[in-house]
Structure 1
Amino acid sequence: MSQGNYPLRGVRILDMATVLAAPFAATLCGDMGAEVVKLELPVGGDPLRTLAPVHDGNALFWKTANRGKKGISLDVRKPEGRDLFLSLIKDFDVLVENFRTGTLDQWGLGLDVLHTHNPRLIVLRLTGFGQTGPYARRPGFARIFEAMSGFAHLTGEAGGPPQHMNYPLGDVIAGLFGAFSITTALAERNGLAREAQRGVEIDLAATEAMMRLLDPLAAEFKFSGEARERTGSRATYTAPSNVYRSRDGIWITLVGTSDPIFARVCSAMGRPELTTDPRFNSNAQRMQNLKELDAMIESWFLERDFDDLARQLEEQAVPFSRVYSAADVADDPHVLARKALMELVDPVLGAIPVPAPVPRFPGRHFEVPQVGPDTGQHNNEVYGRLGISDERLRALRELRVI
């Protein structure tokens, strides 16, 4: 679904990728106004349709992650499908794919072929490890990216095993970089006169996207000789910054990064003298005495219920938050006031809550998109724009081309 007054209006994206990372890139562009068409094999089979949550046979992950897209089916591996695909891409600005390196070339759809049929086509190739290098053809999944980037090495308790969160973070981070890559390439291309516009190939490695988040760690290792380790929720670059438990069992994140904020933490605790204690009067000193400082804060939290803690912290303007579940997010007054969740309308399930587009553009209307499409749901509409008759479409279905 194209958002008529959003920045990417008029941009057409063909998403032939599977699962999450690359399709999420296309979905984010759709949130910003692009028209996105989702291409699947005629038999479906995208693994995202089977990943939880699935409710009564309805693939919620698919419906939410591919929101706003039109759905077509096509087997580009068959000669008729390849020909139809090459006709299709003439009217698109961007192609999104995440097959193992070299796969499209094997199908006769290499970059040179694509640009012969559409010289302006931007091709996002989002793989685990990029188009070059010894790992280029390895399969990749979110947890592999998280592990190999060094990210998972940082998560978990001190002395314990590394941990992954219960969500494919590596995929959605790669998707964010994918959307950024697409818009960057569009800005470059569209800044030229149309006759001078040429498409480009984007080589995006999901593992490198995760690495890019960890800016100072390589430098830290070079100059200190130590690789940063797991420390649970306790930060080792600033203090205090940890997760604490209240007397009534609620987990709370507190951040006292700068000296002024630390002073406010001390005021909330009724311990203003800690600001002049030589063990804690600078971030460097607080880091050296981190366990001792954390023990004081932890004790203070455990002696009070959450409501009392929240009142005292709010009075001193200390940055903190209860650690929310999805249920807490949906009930938060700020989330409700900003309408940060919206509801997709599904013909079977009714309203499906999802995060609203980020960012927002004040003064512009955003139309709530449709849920992710069924396989081939918009075949007649999309292929009809190419002048393909209903009779020809029926023949292609019989051949299992679409």
Structure 2
Amino acid sequence: MTTSHTSGPLSGLKVVEMGQLIAGPFAAKTLGDFGAEVIKIEPPGKGDPLRQWRLIKDGTSVWWQVQSRNKQSIALDLRQAEGQAIARELIDQADILVENFRPGTLENWGMDYDSLSAANPGLIMLRVSGYGQTGPYRDKPGFGVVGEAMGGLRHLSGEPGRVPVRCGISIGDTLASLHGVIGVLAALQHRHVSGKGQVIDVALHEAVFNVMESLLPEYSAFGEVRQPAGSALPGIAPSNAYRCTDGQVLVAGNGDSIFKRLMVAIDRPDMAEREDLATNTGRVANIVEVDGAIGEWTSARTVDEVLQVLSAAEVPVGRIYTAKDIAEDPHYRARDMILTQQTRDGYEVEVPGIVPKLSGTPGSVRRAAPHLGENTDEILRALGRSEDDIAQLRERKLVG
């Protein structure tokens, strides 16, 4: 599948993206995937640092091709007053402003919400930061890794007694982004009723904390501090990773009837009929024995053999996918979760598809990620700037 020109459910909405790297831009990307017009403001010269993060092809990160699709780029120096004035003109015409600067940055530029909303009462401002816009930590610099630690996730990551590990991606940033998008959609509904915009304040650590399930109530009710448990799911059994002769599989046999089918499938009907294993409470109490039985069976078989037997028994089971596995899996392609995108540099690259799937107004990739400042002139013309004005702005290095 290549790029599409479907408008999407957010068509007609204008988004100005200020900020860089992951949290703010991922939120704006998601809005763009569903039809919003996104204008990304980047500093002239180098642009968003994400352009140079991780693996580079033809001078630009391939990550950039995903993060900045469906966006236009204006290279604008926000450190100068005239650059800030141009940004305010764009914001005056916008429905949504997305920013992930350190709290106080926009206020120092005279771009606080009260000032911006005076000219644009319907403006919705999404503010993503490490610790939020208020509180004793607001001025501390915060990245996703710190949010993951403060939100409680890092403590649970890894094996018992070992140094916590990261999950392999910047999950704190993307969780904050998705919470921000939820806030934007709720604010749009409120604006539909009241005509008024508002501020959405998302802190990285709060977004992580929000998905930590029973972590806090367990401590509140029992004084229980949940500990890391490797690949197991503490208190729910069996749900773990098990070694095979050529890899590992994940098995989730934690439903009562599923557990019985699992035990029969691995030639342990005796365990399927034991009363002390009939419920989750009993299986948790005997988890060493249960995991041992499953592990003994899987360790004598290949991954494919385990998948075949347990799938036939209707037991949830899966291989641990690498990027290669994803790229070769027919289910991903059947659901348009792997799209082929033509980049501005002239090569094709496969990128993740769009989530969630909407039946009536699906999202789409309408434009490739832009070169730095690619749309500067057309954006300035739309603001009423003449060619001479644009040339003078370039001479003064206000735009690029």
Cα distance in 1, alignment partners of residues 364 and 175 from structure 2: 25
Cα distance in 2, alignment partners of residues 54 and 324 from structure 1: 24
Cα distance in 2, alignment partners of residues 363 and 209 from structure 1: 29
Q: Could you tell me which residue of structure 1 aligns to residue 335 of structure 2?
A: 338
Cα distance in 2, alignment partners of residues 318 and 205 from structure 1: 39
Deviations along 1:215-252, one digit per CA (max 9) or x if unpaired, are 311000112212110111011121110011111x2211
Q: Write out aligned runs for 1:77-92 (5 A).
A: 77-92=79-94
Q: Measured at CA, do residues 94 and 363 of structure 1 come closer, stay the same or move farther in structure 2, by a change above 3 Å?
A: closer
The DSSP-based 3-state class of the residue aligned with 2:277 is: coil
Q: Could you tell me which residue of structure 2 aligns to residue 325 of structure 1?
A: 322
1:373 Cα deviation after fit:
1.3
Q: Could you tell me which residue of structure 2 aligns to residue 304 of structure 1?
A: 301
1:82 Cα deviation after fit:
2.0
CA contact (8 A) 1:2 1:30 kept: no
RMSD value, Cα: 1.6
Q: Write out aligned runs for 1:3-402 (5 A).
A: 4-192=6-194, 197-247=195-245, 249-362=246-359, 364=361, 367-402=364-399
Deviations along 1:23-78, one digit per CA (max 9) or x if unpaired, are 10111111111111111112234221221122342211122111110111112331
Q: TM-score, normalised on structure 1?
A: 0.95
Cα distance in 2, alignment partners of residues 308 and 70 from structure 1: 49
The DSSP-based 3-state class of the residue aligned with 1:266 is: helix
- The percentage of aligned residue pairs carrying the same residue is 38
Amino acid at match of 1:220: E
Amino acid at match of 2:68: N
1:304 Cα deviation after fit:
1.1
1:4 Cα deviation after fit:
4.9
Unmatched tracts of structure 2, length 5 or more: none
Cα distance in 2, alignment partners of residues 237 and 356 from structure 1: 34
Amino acid at match of 1:342: L
Cα distance in 2, alignment partners of residues 214 and 226 from structure 1: 14
Cα distance in 2, alignment partners of residues 348 and 56 from structure 1: 7
The DSSP-based 3-state class of the residue aligned with 1:48 is: helix
1:165 Cα deviation after fit:
2.0
CA contact (8 A) 2:9 2:362 kept: no
Amino acid at match of 2:200: I
Cα distance in 1, alignment partners of residues 250 and 346 from structure 2: 35
Cα distance in 2, alignment partners of residues 385 and 143 from structure 1: 39
1:5 Cα deviation after fit:
4.0
1:363 Cα deviation after fit:
5.2
Cα distance in 2, alignment partners of residues 364 and 200 from structure 1: 26
Cα distance in 1, alignment partners of residues 209 and 363 from structure 2: 33
CA contact (8 A) 2:58 2:345 kept: no
Amino acid at match of 2:338: L
Unmatched tracts of structure 1, length 5 or more: none
CA contact (8 A) 1:95 1:123 kept: yes
Cα distance in 1, alignment partners of residues 126 and 30 from structure 2: 14
Q: Measured at CA, do residues 2 and 307 of structure 1 come closer, stay the same or move farther in structure 2, by a change above 3 Å?
A: closer
* Higher RCO (C-alpha under 8 Å, 6+ residues apart): 2
Cα distance in 2, alignment partners of residues 228 and 123 from structure 1: 36
Deviations along 1:304-362, one digit per CA (max 9) or x if unpaired, are 12222121111101101100001101111211222211011113251111111111223
Cα distance in 1, alignment partners of residues 298 and 264 from structure 2: 14
Cα distance in 1, alignment partners of residues 196 and 51 from structure 2: 35
1:381 Cα deviation after fit:
1.5
CA contact (8 A) 2:7 2:34 kept: no
Cα distance in 2, alignment partners of residues 129 and 23 from structure 1: 18
1:367 Cα deviation after fit:
4.4
The DSSP-based 3-state class of the residue aligned with 2:97 is: strand
